[in-house]
Amino acid sequence: MSEPMNPSEGLTESGPAPEATPASEATSLSEATSASATSSASEATSASGTGASVNDPVSEAAPPVNEPASGTGASTAGIPDDLREAAFERQRRLRQESRFPGGPAIDPAGSHHERRIRSFQPRRSRVTPGQQDALLRLWPLWGLDIDGQRVLDLPEMFDGLPVVLEIGFGMGEATAQMAADDPGTGILAVDVHTPGQGNLLSLADRNGLTNIRVANGDAIILLREMLAPDALDGLRVYFPDPWPKKRHHKRRLIQPEFLDLVAGRLKPGAVLHCATDWEPYAEQMLEVLTAHPRFENTAADGGYAPRPAFRPLTRFEGQGLDKGHVVHDLLFARV
């Protein structure tokens, strides 16, 4: 669960990560020319689309090959086309190769599904050794890439438990807490933030939580292509990116089209639970949800709901409350 970009961050897509592991060094194209046309680029991931096209949080993206590297004054003028193309191809391959063999893919949906307006903000940050270890050890057991190529068998995946989808979990502390407090519910947690994925896997392992699965990629593709009708017992969207600028409001996740999709995947009576500390976004959420014919407000007065006990008060939320932020919870049942 990430913090809202106020304009600090948004939850689809995630909280800050700690210490850095060394990132690969970017080599300028002019250096590549003098070094037998080899160029080294840092890895980028592509966040399919929940929001975000993903650039790998492990390292900074390399500059485009036809532009000078930032601050170096490097120029591509006079570089032969074959060397330019070789450098470009090497950077393309590096962006497609995962830093964690057997771990989350760079762009799990690839070109199988259309690109669209992203509802999440790509974030680049470092992966700690502990997070890397969790990704390498646990991703094959508890992780999945959102490739849009199959329909998930949730009862098999969660040993028959009811399943709640959480879109955007940041560093995963709140998700792990909810899983520990309610071991009878499976949580399918989706994010594109590699350090957060590793951190949540580490928390699940450390606390013996077997009711968490971590999904990497675009939640929209997951909902549309990989979940059967009426597959979910709930959906949680905590502190999504509010996209505060008016011209970016179209990127907000909670829109009528999103609710149409969600309504087809939630069981009757299942609850969509949203939370935000961005007042204008809370107002839009309430308006859009109230107007949708397949959702009904569980709050008796038709407004916001008190924070339910099962949603933990996170450290970031506490800091916001100390600054006078008001957090709004919205709980709407699928009719």
pLDDT at 50 over 90: no
Q: Which of 218, 233, 241, 277 is catalytic?
A: 241
Whole-number average pLDDT of the chain: 78
Q: What is the pLDDT of residue 98?
A: 55
Pair 41, 59: CB distance under 8 Å: no
**Cβ–Cβ contacts within 10 Å for residue 68, how many?**
16
Instruction: Mention every residue, 6+ apart, whose C-beta is less than 8 A from residue 67.
Output: 76
| Whether residue 252 has pLDDT greater than 80 | yes
Say which residue, 83 or 175, is predicted with more confidence: 175
Confidence of residue 223 (pLDDT cuts 50, 70, 90): very high
pLDDT at 188: 98
pLDDT score recorded for residue 149: 92
Q: Are 210 and 187 in contact (CB under 8 A)?
A: no
Q: Nearest 5°: phi and psi at 115?
A: -80, 150
The per-residue pLDDT for 268 is: 98
Which of 10-24, 79-93, 288-302 has maximum average pLDDT? 288-302
Separation between Cα atoms, residue 19 and residue 107, nearest integer Å? 25
How far apart CA 156 and CA 249 sit, in angstroms, is 38
pLDDT band at 80 (very low <50, low <70, confident <90, very high): confident
The predicted model gives 273-286 an average pLDDT of 97
The tens digit of pLDDT for each residue in 140-173 reads: 999 999 999 999 999 999 999 999 999 999 999 9
pLDDT bracket for residue 189 (50, 70, 90):
very high
Integer Cα distance of 325 and 335 in angstroms: 32
At 62, the pLDDT band (50, 70, 90 cuts) reads very low
Q: Scanning the structure block, which residue is given the tokens 């397949």?
A: 294
Please give the Cα distance from 163 to 186 (Å, whole number): 5
How confident is the model over 107-116, as a mean pLDDT? 64
- Token pair for residue 278? 């961005």
> What confidence category does residue 108 fall into, taking pLDDT thresholds of 50, 70 and 90?
confident
Note the pTM of the prediction, 2 decimals: 0.70
Q: How far apart are the C-alpha atoms of 214 and 255, rounded to whole Å?
A: 24
Going by C-alpha positions, the residue among 176, 168, 301, 186 that lies closest to residue 233 is 186
- For the question of residue 241 being annotated catalytic, the response is yes
